[in-house]
Amino acid sequence: MNRLIAILCLIALNCFSQSNLKETYNLMPWPKSIEENNHRFVIDENLTVSIEGDSPKRVQHAVTSFLRRLSNRSGVFINEGFAMPLSENQQASIQISFKESAKLIVDDDESYKLDIQSNKVTLVAHTDVGAIRGLETLLQLLTNNDSEYYLPGVSISDAPRFVWRGLMIDVSRHFHPIDVIKRNLDAMASVKMNVFHWHLTDDQGFRIESKIYPKLHELASDGLYYTQDQIKEIVEYASILGIRVIPEFDVPGHATAILTAYPELGSKPGATYKIERYAGVFDPTLDPTNEDVYVFLENLFTEIAPLFPDFYFHIGGDENEGKHWDANEQIQKFKKDHNLSTNHDLQTYFNIRLEKILNKLDKKLVGWDEIMTPNMPKTAIIHSWRGEHEGLAKGGTLIEAAKKGYNTILSNGFYIDRMESVVKHYQTEPIGDVQLTEDERSRILGGEVTMWSELVTPLTIDSRIWPRTAAIAERLWSPKNITDTDNMLKRLEVINYRLEDVGITHIRNKDVILRNLSNNQDISALEVLSHVCEPLKIYSRNEGGTEYKTYSPFTLFADACNVDAKDALKFKKAVTNYSKTHSEAHKTDIISLLEIWSKNHEAFQKIDKNPKITPLETLSYNLSEVSKFLLKRIKNERTSKKDMKTFKSQIETLKQPFADVELVIVNDLENLFEALK
């Protein structure tokens, strides 16, 4: 019995210490296992790194990057700027070894073991990619006291839960030059993501050079496209980081750009098409009954496929409402002749033709979940994106696909362009409590964050992707039981600003927008507002897709704001706790925020007015006024009935959107008022 208690104590202690470790170390994704020792590896100028393993190109690159970032973060002037082979430096203080180069396929082993002692760090992995994942962990461990930077003594054994941890970037709605892609690849690698899904074509632009069909990039990109050399550059850059690249050519819908160049492939006879400038679902669609379409796609894919060494090739296949098919008599006849009773059947016919083309090119077809129709071959991969919001059951099509025998990846729940809290995405558990056979489980490859770019430009895209994507990366890498949201938020705060190291511009570009808004006047009042405002969510910023064109300004207040506005989170916590406890500490927190807001309108008014900030005036004024009122209440000062009436009316005003943002503290202001009654 005593032994049982001892064992239980040990388990409890271990649980406690693991959660304790999560308070100490700001790792993300959290590793599979971590143990502390009492050592400390101090960073000094004599630090050296050795590599053991054949074809160490990836690891060499990663070590160089590691050393630069280590040096930049610590300020230490490290004498040796590059890794050496182990044979040349048996005494290296950081020793890395691996057995083989990863092939960049879904079966790659990305595990690693890391051991930090006083004078030596050992990083062992099966593959080079495992080793570079471990280097990122090492860098995340870097910490300091007042006199030195050091790596704390820990032993880590780590491996991913899912093999597919992706980020999709839509470069059609807004083009994103290769430096944007590169810095985001670096950021992906820093949180151990391994798939870059490149949404290259859509109604708003065809973004890749075609030498066989040059009209595609010449007529349908506004000059904003990647040359084939740039594509190769990115694929090589990603490969060095252990990231696979999956191209997407969205067909048969989302095809306005293709049809702008080659209207004869469309489903509306005689029509001409123009690159789409708005957002939404549009009618232009390839004609699946036209053999020329298959010749075109086979030629195009044959040209493009060699640029992308990955096995997988995404053909989109989403959101085709088939309106032009319905209106075309020939297409209707074709359906009858081929026993295709619905447009879905027709699209499946199209997809199966595509699958054969891709098979010839040694590629596997990936498509959005609309492609999962009864006749679709099981070799296709189902990209699950629809869920409750799209009229499906919770959990969407992922489990269904796996059960039906498809490999599948999840994006439902990871649509970061919906501008929802990181908490919601973090809590999206792909499998949950569903009982799956081993085979079914193995078909759930992982998931992808989707960065649709209707409302993001190179100036703002990083702030929309990060930091939320880091939390999703953890969901896809870390054990299922890593779910403590508060702890995730604490770690995310550090990971967030560390993303600046790899060039992510999410923090720095905010002030750029505010300076532009204010014509370079003092931006502190706008900063204060931006900490309690968030851009309108779930596509309501661009109602019907017609408020913004692709070339509308994205340098507005809403573009400077972000989800999870920081003072809003702080205020919510303080109000929630104060409502329960009426403690002085929470009261102090509340008062300090209310004081900032109550004074802010005075600062706001000092900015010379201009048409960009005028729409914020009502917001700013009313926020100050309600804060003044609540300050009086919380300090037990006298307020009149009239004051209360004014307060209520001001709160109603504040519930409206202003300049495409919402004041996200408005409910908590009301809650506070109730708590003070």
Q: Is 652 in the site for its own copies (CB under 8 A)?
A: no
Output the CA–CA distances (angstroms, integers) from residue 481 to 30, 111, 492, in the order listed: 11, 19, 17
Q: Which amino acid is at 667?
A: N
Q: Which is nearer to its own copies, 145 or 481 (CB)?
A: 145
CB of 341 to its own copies, least distance (A): 43
Mark the segment that binds its own copies (CB under 8 A) among 332-340, 460-468, 497-505, 660-668: 497-505
Specify whether the CB–CB gap between 76 and 44 falls below 8 A: yes
**CA–CA dist 153, 654 (Å, integer):** 51
Q: Is 487 in the site for its own copies (CB under 8 A)?
A: no
**CA–CA dist 23, 27 (Å, integer):** 10
Q: How many CB atoms lie within 10 A of CB 20?
A: 12
Task: Candidates 40, 73, 120, 403: give the one binding its own copies (CB under 8 A).
Answer: 73
Q: Is 51 in the site for its own copies (CB under 8 A)?
A: no
CB of 31 to its own copies, least distance (A): 22
Which listed residue (36, 218, 319, 527) is catalytic?
319
Task: Candidates 9, 15, 105, 177: give the one binding its own copies (CB under 8 A).
Answer: 177
Residue with tokens 């447009």: 343
Mark the segment that binds its own copies (CB under 8 A) among 212-220, 324-332, 423-431, 495-503: 495-503
The helices-and-strands tally (H runs, E runs) of the chain is 25, 20
Q: Is 553 in the site for its own copies (CB under 8 A)?
A: yes
Specify whether the CB–CB gap between 376 and 348 falls below 8 A: yes
Q: Which amino acid is at 20?
A: N
Q: Is 667 in the site for its own copies (CB under 8 A)?
A: no
Residue 333: DSSP 8-state: H
Q: Is 81 in the site for its own copies (CB under 8 A)?
A: yes
- Tell me whether residue 100 is one of the annotated catalytic residues: no
Q: Which is nearer to its own copies, 547 or 643 (CB)?
A: 547
Q: Which of residues 556-585 bind its own copies (CB under 8 A)?
A: 556
Query: Which helix (H) or strand (E) is 167 found in, with range?
Result: strand 164-170
Mark the segment that binds its own copies (CB under 8 A) among 118-126, 147-155, 369-377, 632-640: 147-155
594-597 CB contacts, 8 Å cutoff, 24+ apart: 594/627, 594/630, 594/631, 594/634, 595/627, 595/631, 596/528, 596/567, 597/528, 597/532, 597/623, 597/624, 597/627
Task: Candidates 608, 637, 642, 674: give the one binding its own copies (CB under 8 A).
Answer: 608
Q: How many residues bind its own copies (CB under 8 A)?
A: 60
Give the 3-state secondary structure of residue 42: strand
Q: Is 227 in the site for its own copies (CB under 8 A)?
A: yes
Q: Is 67 in the site for its own copies (CB under 8 A)?
A: yes
Q: Which is nearer to its own copies, 163 or 187 (CB)?
A: 187
Task: Candidates 194, 550, 622, 650: give the one binding its own copies (CB under 8 A).
Answer: 550
Q: Which is nearer to its own copies, 150 or 198 (CB)?
A: 150
Beta-carbon contacts of residue 306 (< 8 Å; ≥ 6 apart) = none
Q: Which is nearer to its own copies, 16 or 497 (CB)?
A: 497
Q: Which is nearer to its own copies, 36 or 501 (CB)?
A: 501
Task: Candidates 18, 64, 157, 576: give the one binding its own copies (CB under 8 A).
Answer: 64
Closest CA to 150 of 211, 74, 78: 74
Mark the segment that binds its own copies (CB under 8 A) among 15-23, 59-67, 323-331, 585-593: 59-67
Q: Beta 164-170 vs 195-199: how paired, if at all?
A: parallel
Side-chain-side CA neighbours of residue 96 (13 Å) = 31
Q: Which is nearer to its own copies, 449 or 495 (CB)?
A: 495
DSSP for 641-653 reads: HHHHHHHHHHHHH
Q: Is 146 in the site for its own copies (CB under 8 A)?
A: yes
Mark the segment that binds its own copies (CB under 8 A) among 258-266, 306-314, 611-619, 632-640: 611-619
CB of 209 to its own copies, least distance (A): 12
Q: Is 72 in the site for its own copies (CB under 8 A)?
A: yes
**CA–CA dist 84, 267 (Å, integer):** 60
Task: Candidates 359, 379, 519, 649: give the one binding its own copies (CB under 8 A).
Answer: 519
511 burial type by CB count under 10 A (0-12 exposed, 13-18 middle, 19+ buried): middle
CB of 277 to its own copies, least distance (A): 7
Structure tokens at 110: 């990305």
**CA–CA dist 512, 520 (Å, integer):** 9
Q: Is 520 in the site for its own copies (CB under 8 A)?
A: yes
CB of 145 to its own copies, least distance (A): 8
Q: Which amino acid is at 568?
A: A
Q: Is 546 in the site for its own copies (CB under 8 A)?
A: no
Task: Candidates 76, 84, 392, 423: give the one binding its own copies (CB under 8 A).
Answer: 76
Max distance between CA atoms of the chain, in angstroms, equals 86
**CA–CA dist 656, 565 (Å, integer):** 17
CB of 512 to its own copies, least distance (A): 5
**CA–CA dist 594, 466 (Å, integer):** 29
Mark the segment that binds its own copies (CB under 8 A) among 46-54, 341-349, 400-408, 505-513: 505-513
**CA–CA dist 244, 636 (Å, integer):** 61
**CA–CA dist 391, 240 (Å, integer):** 41
Q: Is 505 in the site for its own copies (CB under 8 A)?
A: yes
Task: Candidates 264, 306, 551, 585: give the one binding its own copies (CB under 8 A).
Answer: 551
483 burial type by CB count under 10 A (0-12 exposed, 13-18 middle, 19+ buried): middle
**Polymer length in residues for the chain:** 677
**CA–CA dist 280, 203 (Å, integer):** 9
Q: Is 211 in the site for its own copies (CB under 8 A)?
A: no
Q: Is 511 in the site for its own copies (CB under 8 A)?
A: yes
Mark the segment that binds its own copies (CB under 8 A) among 283-291, 441-449, 496-504, 564-572: 496-504
Output the CA–CA distances (angstroms, integers) from residue 145 to 150, 152, 153, 339, 573, in the order listed: 8, 11, 15, 73, 30
Q: Which is nearer to its own copies, 399 or 561 (CB)?
A: 561
CB of 457 to its own copies, least distance (A): 9
Q: Is 26 in the site for its own copies (CB under 8 A)?
A: no
Q: Catalytic residue numbers?
A: 319
- Residues at the interface with its own copies (CB under 8 A): 61, 64, 67-68, 71-79, 81-82, 144-149, 177-179, 222-223, 227, 229, 233, 277, 493-494, 497, 500-501, 505, 507-509, 511-512, 515-516, 519-520, 548-556, 608-612, 614
